[in-house]
């Protein structure tokens, strides 16, 4: 277990010792009787390890007499140790096996006391301490569910602009798909299927215990286009000062989060600095961006709409601190010109993050983090926004009806005709003026109080304040150009603003104690959050070109929207261990919420689970060389999703009409409205072989969402105006989850490792409670929608199914037919890492199989005569294009894909003492989105996000329509540590 | 530490208690004065919304307009009206909302608000009557209560009469009284009750300019959708049958659509005379009918206002058909017809007349020349088509009715298989035949494929049409 490099410099000189002396110039400081022990902690690769906890005990004693953390150069110093006394030192860090140095005899101050310690990276991380879903930290072996942890260092090399993109292929049992390539596009993040037909499957996101705005679809007022791209809040989550990210994917793991976490939880833990000298890191990332043309129908579309872009990012970070305190500061500037002509997708982001920790007294520690993000991006028209849209014009054949009207088959145009088209498109793209600005401030404040040994009380409070402004200007010039009809009085400006203010408070306490072979960890806590969502939209029409003020408009309108979610919950958790190998994990949370109907009281979420680390059983000892660790786990737990705030009340809607106050039916109301509850039973096995060279994890889960919230459209005869939420549905998700990591080569110089995850998924609506089918996405019920209906998967494609006779002529059409599921039944990710000394290569990819999507662009191309699109000639000869909507099944394709997300190389230069001030340098080069292999002729990810269920509503994608693919990036980077 | 914990818990409980609900609960609304005033105004708004849903769709479903764009129904032009169709459901929602809100007004608001004015009372009651008229005219059957039994059109008409009488008893405004009277004549016309239809048509015939409009409000998101479809949106979405080109656009603005939303007529003086003439034609009182029709032209239609409009930006470029004539060409109503002029307007020739209420190209000479019942019946229906153009009436004249929607059927056990089938008379040409024409650009002649008024007269015994005959 123990990997020891215990060279003591005073005694003999070794290669390591000299290196250490040269590199670090360690000194021993001493007082009259006291001596100090210094040292350095490095990884097997030779990287200095920051943040390693070093504890000193008198040899043989359990009492910790000093505890420090290594700085960014892996250095630590423990002062005031008694010379001539033997001490035991323990070194621990997340993701590494603990190391020990026992019985070290501290030499007098005049002599050197230096240690060089190497920590071995863990593959099997059963002893890793996790926080998310557990109230206060607990080791993974004690809990009955999986928690995925990703270290910040794993994410540093990826030039991604947003958190979810960064995590693509990184979460073994979750799938993350960006629905479009424009900044701010909705992402579809799902782990254990689609548990809700109402709430988007995006997990709840926390940063240092503070709940963040995670709205991932279009907002109620503005905030993107319903059928185009949304303005996702995830695009501006701060992500440059990350220590670790923890992810739990629902079920019992999320029970602690109660009514709000059926889709899982992502928690970002930020850096808080380390003890030791101040270190400065500077990084430059520079690169090129290219449009992804793999899925374009016409070769010339790229010529028409895309440019080559430039990506640049500058990062400066300062880390430091003293024994009892640490600080971290990071500053970033990112600018991506985007690949759409006239920089219409330019994205510029500036952010600052800081973290601080301090021991205020022996018993009280304080940690905080502050982040500020300013994100600005442009957006050109996409999806189903009506009027001119670049991709609709070029790829859907609507060039045949737009402007001067063109032959819609771009590739068959003469050069002269194409030049005319290009002039037209240039102007249409140039004149677009859509700008999104987000300012976001987030802070977390944590106090930890240790009144007595083994008891911790933790109080967390924080704020996430996000202000988004979306401005769309349509000038008369633009309208005249794109509609082909002169206008001088229709120029318009539409602004929308959304202010989100989230407050989180959590107070919990944990007490650990042992009785004989039994160990207990008891946790009790309460959590409260309150989110205010304030939106205004104001617009002006008949604005003279050149003005960007609504107040300059001849006609002005305004609208507002307000939502407030308040949730309070209390939980108790009891973890019982037997001989550190068998554990029971029990918990209960109770939630109250003003959105619940008056017939609904406090809602309870129980969980129970067991974890049996049978590799620690005596009968396994003989085969430890083969089976390094093994455990069985099983659990049962509930997690929920909240209904919309105030959705329980019957209301009257007020409006203006003809200058008078106007009243009509508002929300029908539901006194029985409660949260939907997903009840998950799962079991699994985690195995590690050959000293962690092979790890394998397998699990099965069955999750049933009872009382699923369906937003039920009114029955016409009721005369009601609005949909009403009812707890009437029942949704099943079940599947297998496999994950393995194999390290076939591992020497001092070379490491090769590969990982693969495989997940199966079966999703179906077990019951819709007698409610008529309703849609999540798409157009009207007679054309194409993704629909929720009993007996089918959530969000399946529904449209007209046409059959053709022997002559290829349409013979019949069945309306509202099942055209396939939009949810894959198989998905996962894979990765490869290779290291030769300081040179590392990495690649990762993800895949899916078993879903379909509709190629609406192709259907339009058929309609506009831009292609025959596989429709039989007999039909075209007889009916021309008149039946274009009657055989939507002909445009549905499988969306199986493997996408390579990143390929990168880094080269670490460590011995740079020749350059003053520079400790080390890492040079890297990364390619994002280099290869796509897909069964569909369109980008299987790029689908209109849809929002038929309103703000934050469920979506499964499924319709490919005038949506941009994520661009390719080729980014080189240089990171220097001073 | 205890202090902090207690303070924290207190803070949390205080924060959680102050949830600001910005919405108005039903209880709060009813407890404040003057509920009837805002509720009646809500019904005016609902009338506008209901007519929006009806007018555009009914015009598409008839031979009046072709949907030349990708928005709006893509199948009503066929005409195809599936019970699964979203527009079929939406129109039902709109009609039922009018009925339910009016019912709530009568049953809950008015009894609790003594300050309600006669005008508001009458408006609420009228709205209920009008919802029943629409239910009968547009649907094969429709419930009149939540998940209730589907009433036949005749049952809806009976209820409409009941509430029209009630509204007449309350109403104080003479014009509105006339409007309600014409509506009674319309209901009796729908019921095929010639005697009562004639009685109330005559009673209302004294008024030569009665106009009962539904108003819109572009600044509060209740724009006249028909105006958007035929004028405001670029490109214009709906294209008229070329023989009706001179009537388009009925609704237009001078550049600021938000403040210039034109009203849609739901009852006007013309209708009383048209009903009267049809009673007379059906009873073979042909001379009387000729007089009635000529008076209709001279006393009412020709006196209606028009505006001068520059419609040079009209391109009829919606995308589905690109061959709509934009210059003055001659028209044949069908292949057998002779050439007619002045039906297609030269949009580039300066200002043109936009008839905001009523217009027709039927002349007194044509009326005089109509010697037979069929010839006069043909003219009555041509007049009805041209006078009610873009008002959402033509589909009913053609005998087409929508089915009960799937959403209703799935939630309401009273809906039978018969209710979910549309009524489309056998004589209606399918495959968008009603909107079809050929355009010989060289000769400058447009030939309409079907003259639907002629087709109707040729099928005059079809039970779905001509209520006084069938």
- Residues of chain A found within 8 Å of residue B234, distances taken between Cβ atoms: 479, 483, 485, 487, 490
Task: Read off the CATH number of the domain in which A67 is found.
Answer: 2.60.40.10
Q: Domain containing B357: what range?
A: 36-69+82-221+253-458
pLDDT for B303 beyond 70: yes
Residues A83, A218: one domain? Answer: no
**Taking CB atoms and an 8 Å limit, are A715 and B412 in contact across chains?**
yes
Last residue of a domain, one of A89, A119, A149: A119
pLDDT (mean) for B332-349: 95
Residue at A787 is within a domain: no
The Cα A857–Cα A848 span in angstroms is: 22
Residues A372, A511: one domain? Answer: yes
- Residues of chain A found within 8 Å of residue B213, distances taken between Cβ atoms: none
- Residues of chain A found within 8 Å of residue B19, distances taken between Cβ atoms: 564, 566, 594, 645
**E-assigned strand segments in A21-107:** 34-43, 53-58, 64-69, 75-82, 86-92, 99-105
* Selected residues 332-391 of chain B with any CB under 8 Å from a CB in chain A: none
pLDDT of residue A911: 64
Please name the residue that has the structure tokens 């006393």.
B299
Measure A852 CA to nearest chain B CA, in Å: 23
Average pLDDT, chain A: 88
Strand A34-43 and strand A114-119: the pairing is parallel
Facing residue for B45 by CB, picked from A490, A657, A771: A657
- Residues of chain B found within 8 Å of residue A503, distances taken between Cβ atoms: 15
Q: Taking CA atoms, what residue in A is nearest to B255?
A: A489
Determine contact: B162 vs chain A, CB below 8 A. no
Question: What pLDDT, in 10s, does the model give residues A83-130?
Answer: 889 999 999 876 677 888 989 999 888 888 888 898 877 655 677 777
- Residues of chain B found within 8 Å of residue A544, distances taken between Cβ atoms: none
**Taking CB atoms and an 8 Å limit, are B101 and A664 in contact across chains?**
yes
Facing residue for A663 by CB, picked from B42, B144, B146: B42
H or E segment to which residue A258 belongs: none
Residues A85, A154: one domain? Answer: no
Residues A690, A746: one domain? Answer: yes
* Selected residues 424-453 of chain B with any CB under 8 Å from a CB in chain A: 431-432
Determine contact: B1 vs chain A, CB below 8 A. yes
Residues A67, A113: one domain? Answer: yes
**Taking CB atoms and an 8 Å limit, are A666 and B24 in contact across chains?**
yes
Residues A100, A144: one domain? Answer: no
Contacts of A269 (CB under 8 A, 6+ apart): A131, A208, A242, A243, A244, A245, A246
Count: domains in chain B = 1
Contact B456, B396 (CB under 8 A): no
Measure B94 CA to nearest chain A CA, in Å: 8
Contacts of A623 (CB under 8 A, 6+ apart): none
Q: Is A696 exposed, middle or buried (0-12, 13-18, 19+ CB in 10 A)?
A: middle
Confidence bin at B394 (pLDDT 50/70/90): very high
**Taking CB atoms and an 8 Å limit, are A782 and B15 in contact across chains?**
no
- Residues of chain A found within 8 Å of residue B95, distances taken between Cβ atoms: 716
Residue at B9 is within a domain: no
Residue at B41 is within a domain: yes
Residues in chain B: 470
pLDDT for B427 beyond 60: yes
**Taking CB atoms and an 8 Å limit, are B146 and A665 in contact across chains?**
no
**Taking CB atoms and an 8 Å limit, are B85 and A459 in contact across chains?**
no
Residues A76, A196: one domain? Answer: no
pLDDT for B219 beyond 90: no
Please name the residue that has the structure tokens 């192709």.
A858
**Taking CB atoms and an 8 Å limit, are A717 and B4 in contact across chains?**
no
Facing residue for B411 by CB, picked from A650, A655, A715: A715
Residue at A103 is within a domain: yes
Residue at A128 is within a domain: no
Measured at the CA of A788, the angle between CA A784 and CA A794, to 5 degrees, comes to 100
Residue numbers in chain A where pLDDT is lower than 70: 1-33, 45, 72, 94-95, 122-125, 159-160, 223-229, 275-276, 911-914, 947
Residue at A129 is within a domain: no
Task: Read off the CATH number of the domain in which B342 is found.
Answer: 1.25.40.10
Residue at B2 is within a domain: no
**Taking CB atoms and an 8 Å limit, are B25 and A489 in contact across chains?**
no
Residue at A271 is within a domain: yes
pLDDT (mean) for B428-440: 94
Facing residue for A484 by CB, picked from B73, B317, B408: B317
**Taking CB atoms and an 8 Å limit, are B26 and A652 in contact across chains?**
yes
**Taking CB atoms and an 8 Å limit, are A503 and B222 in contact across chains?**
no
Residues A45, A194: one domain? Answer: no
**Taking CB atoms and an 8 Å limit, are A780 and B86 in contact across chains?**
yes
Residue at B296 is within a domain: yes
- Residues of chain B found within 8 Å of residue A486, distances taken between Cβ atoms: 313
- Residues of chain A found within 8 Å of residue B84, distances taken between Cβ atoms: 781-782, 815-816
Residues A260, A172: one domain? Answer: yes
**Taking CB atoms and an 8 Å limit, are B256 and A484 in contact across chains?**
no
pLDDT of residue B290: 98
Measure A63 CA to nearest chain B CA, in Å: 25
**Taking CB atoms and an 8 Å limit, are B100 and A780 in contact across chains?**
no
Contact A186, A232 (CB under 8 A): yes
Residue at B238 is within a domain: no
pLDDT of residue A12: 39
Count: domains in chain A = 2
Residue at A772 is within a domain: no
Measure B350 CA to nearest chain A CA, in Å: 15
Measure B98 CA to nearest chain A CA, in Å: 7
Q: Domain containing A34: what range?
A: 15-119
- Residues of chain B found within 8 Å of residue A451, distances taken between Cβ atoms: 1
The Cα B470–Cα B455 span in angstroms is: 16
Question: What pLDDT, in 10s, does the model give residues B254-272?
Answer: 878 888 999 999 999 999 9
**Taking CB atoms and an 8 Å limit, are B147 and A715 in contact across chains?**
yes
Last residue of a domain, one of A59, A88, A119: A119
Last residue of a domain, one of A64, A86, A119: A119
Residue at B29 is within a domain: no
Phi/psi of residue B187, each to 5°?
A: -60, -45
Give me the torsion for CA of B18, B19, B24, B30, rounded to 10°.
-50
Measure A544 CA to nearest chain B CA, in Å: 13
Contact A258, A591 (CB under 8 A): yes
- Residues of chain B found within 8 Å of residue A485, distances taken between Cβ atoms: 234-235, 313, 315
Residues A311, A185: one domain? Answer: yes
Contact A710, A776 (CB under 8 A): no
* Selected residues 281-320 of chain B with any CB under 8 Å from a CB in chain A: 313, 315, 317-319
**E-assigned strand segments in A480-621:** 492-515, 518-541, 555-578, 582-592, 603-612
Measure A668 CA to nearest chain B CA, in Å: 10
- Residues of chain A found within 8 Å of residue B319, distances taken between Cβ atoms: 398, 400-401, 864
Q: Taking CA atoms, what residue in B is nearest to A721?
A: B97
Contact A4, A39 (CB under 8 A): no
Determine contact: B145 vs chain A, CB below 8 A. yes
pLDDT of residue B215: 96
pLDDT of residue A807: 96
Residues A196, A250: one domain? Answer: yes
Measure A613 CA to nearest chain B CA, in Å: 37
Please name the residue that has the structure tokens 């002629």.
B454
Contact A36, A80 (CB under 8 A): yes
Measure B275 CA to nearest chain A CA, in Å: 31
pLDDT (mean) for B431-456: 96
**Taking CB atoms and an 8 Å limit, are A665 and B220 in contact across chains?**
no
**Taking CB atoms and an 8 Å limit, are B407 and A664 in contact across chains?**
no
Measure B396 CA to nearest chain A CA, in Å: 21
Residues A89, A155: one domain? Answer: no
The Cα B229–Cα B70 span in angstroms is: 12
**Taking CB atoms and an 8 Å limit, are A555 and B259 in contact across chains?**
yes
Task: Read off the CATH number of the domain in which A527 is found.
Answer: 2.40.170.20
Residue at A866 is within a domain: no
Residue at B231 is within a domain: no
Residue at A802 is within a domain: no
Residue at B446 is within a domain: yes
Facing residue for A486 by CB, picked from B103, B144, B313: B313
């Amino acid at each position: 277990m123990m990997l020891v490099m215990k060279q003591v410099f005073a005694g003999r000189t070794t290669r390591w010792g000299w290196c250490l002396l040269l590199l670090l110039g360690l000194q021993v400081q001493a007082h009259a009787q006291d001596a100090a022990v210094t040292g350095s902690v490095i990884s097997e690769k030779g990287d200095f390890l920051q943040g390693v906890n070093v504890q000193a005990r008198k040899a043989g004693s359990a009492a910790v007499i000093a505890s420090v953390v290594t700085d960014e150069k892996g250095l630590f110093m423990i002062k005031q140790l008694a010379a001539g006394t033997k001490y035991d030192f323990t070194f621990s860090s997340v993701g590494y096996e603990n190391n020990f140095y026992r019985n070290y005899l501290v030499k007098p101050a005049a002599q050197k006391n230096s240690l060089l310690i190497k920590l071995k990276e863990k593959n099997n991380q059963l002893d890793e301490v996790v926080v998310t879903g557990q109230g206060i930290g607990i080791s993974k072996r004690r809990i009955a569910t999986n928690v995925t942890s990703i270290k910040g260092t794993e994410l540093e090399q990826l030039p991604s602009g947003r958190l979810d993109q960064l995590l693509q292929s990184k979460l073994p049992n979750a799938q993350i798909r960006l629905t479009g390539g424009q900044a701010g596009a909705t992402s579809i993040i799902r782990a254990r299927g689609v548990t809700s037909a109402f709430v988007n499957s995006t997990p709840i996101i926390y940063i240092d215990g503070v709940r963040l705005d995670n709205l991932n679809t279009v907002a109620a007022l503005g905030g993107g286009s319903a059928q185009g791209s949304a303005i996702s809040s995830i695009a501006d989550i701060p992500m440059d000062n990350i220590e670790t990210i923890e992810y739990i994917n629902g079920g019992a793991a999320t029970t602690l989060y109660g009514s709000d976490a059926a889709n899982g939880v992502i928690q970002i833990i930020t850096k808080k600095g380390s003890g030791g000298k101040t270190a400065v890191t500077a990084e430059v990332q520079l690169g090129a961006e290219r449009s992804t043309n793999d899925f374009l129908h016409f070769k010339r579309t790229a010529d028409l709409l895309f440019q080559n872009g430039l990506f640049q990012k500058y990062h400066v970070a300062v880390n430091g601190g003293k024994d009892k305190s640490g600080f971290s500061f990071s500053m970033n500037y990112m600018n991506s010109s985007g690949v759409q002509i006239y920089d219409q997708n330019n994205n510029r982001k500036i952010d600052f993050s800081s973290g601080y920790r301090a021991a205020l007294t022996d018993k009280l520690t304080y940690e905080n983090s502050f982040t500020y993000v300013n994100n600005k991006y442009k957006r050109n028209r996409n999806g189903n926004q009506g009027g001119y849209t670049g991709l609709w014009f070029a790829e859907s054949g609507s060039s045949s009806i737009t402007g001067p009207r063109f032959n819609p088959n771009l590739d068959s145009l003469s050069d002269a005709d194409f030049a005319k088209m290009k002039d037209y498109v240039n102007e249409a793209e140039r004149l677009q003026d859509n700008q999104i600005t987000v300012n976001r401030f987030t802070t977390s404040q944590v106090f930890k109080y240790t009144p007595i040994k083994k008891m911790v009380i933790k109080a967390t409070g924080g704020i996430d304040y996000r202000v988004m402004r979306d401005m769309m200007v349509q000038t008369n010039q633009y309208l005249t150009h794109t509609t082909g009809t002169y206008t001088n009085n229709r120029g318009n400006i539409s602004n929308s603003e959304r202010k989100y203010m989230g407050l989180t408070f959590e107070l919990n306490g944990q007490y650990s104690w042992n009785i004989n072979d039994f160990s207990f960890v008891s946790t009790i806590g309460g959590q409260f959050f309150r989110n205010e969502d304030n939106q205004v939209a104001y617009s002006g029409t008949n604005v003279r070109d050149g003005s960007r003020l609504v107040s300059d408009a001849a006609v002005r309108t305004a609208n507002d929207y307000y939502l407030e979610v308040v949730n309070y919950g209390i939980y108790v958790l009891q973890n019982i261990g037997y001989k550190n190998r068998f554990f029971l994990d029990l918990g209960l949370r109770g939630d109250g919420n003003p959105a619940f109907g008056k017939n609904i009281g406090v809602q309870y979420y129980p969980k129970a689970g067991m974890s049996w680390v049978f590799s620690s059983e005596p009968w396994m000892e003989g085969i430890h060389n083969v089976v390094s660790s093994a455990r069985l786990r099983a659990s049962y737990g509930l997690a929920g999703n909240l209904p919309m705030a105030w959705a329980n009340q019957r209301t009257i809607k007020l409006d203006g009409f003809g200058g008078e106050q106007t009243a009509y039916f508002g929300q029908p109301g539901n006194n029985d409205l409660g949260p939907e509850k997903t009840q998950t039973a799962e079991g699994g096995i985690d195995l590690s072989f050959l000293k962690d060279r092979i790890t394998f994890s397998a699990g099965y889960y069955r999750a049933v969402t009872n009382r699923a919230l369906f937003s039920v459209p009114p029955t016409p005869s009721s005369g009601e105006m609005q949909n009403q939420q009812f707890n009437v549905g029942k949704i099943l998700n079940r599947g297998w989850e496999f994950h393995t990591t194999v390290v076939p080569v591992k020497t001092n110089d070379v490491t090769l490792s590969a990982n693969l995850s495989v997940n199966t998924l079966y999703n179906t609506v077990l019951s819709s409670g007698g409610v008529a089918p309703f849609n999540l996405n798409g157009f009207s019920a007679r054309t194409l929608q993704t629909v929720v209906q009993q007996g089918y998967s959530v969000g399946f494609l529904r449209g007209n199914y046409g059959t053709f006779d022997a002559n290829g002529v349409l013979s019949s059409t069945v309306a509202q037919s099942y055209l396939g599921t939009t949810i894959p039944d198989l998905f996962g990710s894979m990765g490869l890492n290779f290291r030769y000394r300081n040179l590392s290569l990495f690649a990762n990819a993800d895949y899916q199989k078993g879903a379909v999507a509709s190629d609406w662009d192709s259907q339009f191309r058929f309609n506009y005569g831009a292609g025959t699109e596989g429709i039989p000639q007999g039909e075209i000869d007889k009916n021309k294009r008149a039946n274009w909507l009657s055989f939507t099944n002909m445009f549905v394709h499988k969306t199986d894909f493997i996408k390579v997300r990143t390929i990168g190389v880094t080269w670490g230069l460590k011995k740079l003492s020749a350059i003053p001030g520079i400790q080390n340098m890492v040079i890297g080069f990364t390619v994002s989105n280099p290869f796509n292999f897909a069964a569909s002729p369109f980008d299987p990810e790029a689908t209109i996000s849809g929002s038929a269920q309103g703000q934050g509503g469920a979506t499964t994608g499924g319709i490919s329509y005038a949506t941009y693919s994520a661009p390719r990036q080729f980014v080189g980077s240089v990171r220097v540590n001073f | 530490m205890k202090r902090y914990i207690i303070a924290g818990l207190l803070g949390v409980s205080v924060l959680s208690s102050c949830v600001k609900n910005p919405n108005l609960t039903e209880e709060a609304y009813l407890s404040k004065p003057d509920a009837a005033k805002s509720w009646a105004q809500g019904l005016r708004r609902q009338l506008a919304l209901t007519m929006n849903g009806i007018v555009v769709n009914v015009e598409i479903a008839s031979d009046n307009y072709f949907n030349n764009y990708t928005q709006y129904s893509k199948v009503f032009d066929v005409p195809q009206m599936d019970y699964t169709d979203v527009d079929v459901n939406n129109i039902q929602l709109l009609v039922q909302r009018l009925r339910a809100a009016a019912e709530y007004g009568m049953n809950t608001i008015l009894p609790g608000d003594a300050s309600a004015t006669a005008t508001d009372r009458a408006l609420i009651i009228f709205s209920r009557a009008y919802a029943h008229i629409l239910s009968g005219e547009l649907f094969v059957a429709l419930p009149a209560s939540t998940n209730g039994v589907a009433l036949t059109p005749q049952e809806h008409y009976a209820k409409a009469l009941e509430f029209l009488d009630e509204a007449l008893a309350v109403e104080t405004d003479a014009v509105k009284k006339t409007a309600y009277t014409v509506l009674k004549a319309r209901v009796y016309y729908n019921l095929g009750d010639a005697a009562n239809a004639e009685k109330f048509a005559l009673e209302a015939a004294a008024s030569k300019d009665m106009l009962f409009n539904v108003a819109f409000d572009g600044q509060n998101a209740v724009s006249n959708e028909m105006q958007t479809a035929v004028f405001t949106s670029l490109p214009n979405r709906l294209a008229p049958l070329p023989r009706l080109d001179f009537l388009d656009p009925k609704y237009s603005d001078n550049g600021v659509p938000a403040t210039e939303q034109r009203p849609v007529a739901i009852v006007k003086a013309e209708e009383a005379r048209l009903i009267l003439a049809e009673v007379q034609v059906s009873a073979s009182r042909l001379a009387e009918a000729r007089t009635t029709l000529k008076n209709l032209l001279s006393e009412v239609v020709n006196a209606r206002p028009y505006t001068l409009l520059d419609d040079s930006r009209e391109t009829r470029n919606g995308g589905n058909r690109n061959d709509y004539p934009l210059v003055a060409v001659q028209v044949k109503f069908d292949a057998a017809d002779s050439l007619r002029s002045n039906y297609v307007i030269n949009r580039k020739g300066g200002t043109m007349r936009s008839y905001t209420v009523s217009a027709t190209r039927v002349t007194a000479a044509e009326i005089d020349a109509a010697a037979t019942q069929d010839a006069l019946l043909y003219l009555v229906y041509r007049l009805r088509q041209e006078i009610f153009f873009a008002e959402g009436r033509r589909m009913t004249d053609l005998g087409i009715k929508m089915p009960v929607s799937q959403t209703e059927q799935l939630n309401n056990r009273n809906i039978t298989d018969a209710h979910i089938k549309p009524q489309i008379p056998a004589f209606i040409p399918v495959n968008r035949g009603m909107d079809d024409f050929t355009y010989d650009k060289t000769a400058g002649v447009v030939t309409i494929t079907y003259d639907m008024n002629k087709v109707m007269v040729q099928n005059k015994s079809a039970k779905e049409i001509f209520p006084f005959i069938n």
